[in-house]
Amino acid sequence: MRRGITKFYFLKAIADTGNVPTRTELAAANATDLSGSISDVAGWSLANSPIDTPDMGSTLTTNIPGEDKADSSSLTFYEDQAQETIETLLSKGVVGYIVIMRKGDVEASKSMDIFPVRVAGRAPAYSAGNDPAKFTVTFAISGQPTLDAAIPAAV
């Protein structure tokens, strides 16, 4: 179960060219912990589109790895009536990084995924039912994600 364990952060910048944040960059002054406001997660993975390689020597159509493509990715948040912190942080066009610590903040664990993103849009969810107010932020993956990075040690 990931709920209560997995951490989601938004960073505006990462100095490392490999997109792996330092512990200082993950500190509260530089990163926003989104985890406690997220109600739903979609995407945040890569898929490969294999290329068929048929040949005249066989009836079997083999294939080779093709291009990688990021799935459509979004985060759905609970709306805060008193504050607009997340709405302001993740407004349309904002560029940054979504950092996902799949196993939580466990030093040296190779379970951190970093996605360079641009906010593609934000849409409120309306309901006449007895539901909490929510909004969904859709992200465009704007660069090569770094997967399975080691979580940096505390300073």
Output the tens digit of pLDDT for each of the chain's 155 residues: 678 889 999 999 999 888 999 999 998 778 999 999 999 999 999 999 999 999 999 999 999 999 999 888 999 999 988 888 999 999 999 999 999 999 988 888 899 999 999 999 999 988 888 989 999 999 999 999 999 999 988 76
Contact 95, 42 (CB under 8 A): no
Q: What is the pLDDT of residue 127?
A: 85
Does this model's pTM top 0.85? My answer is yes
CA distance 9 to 60: 46
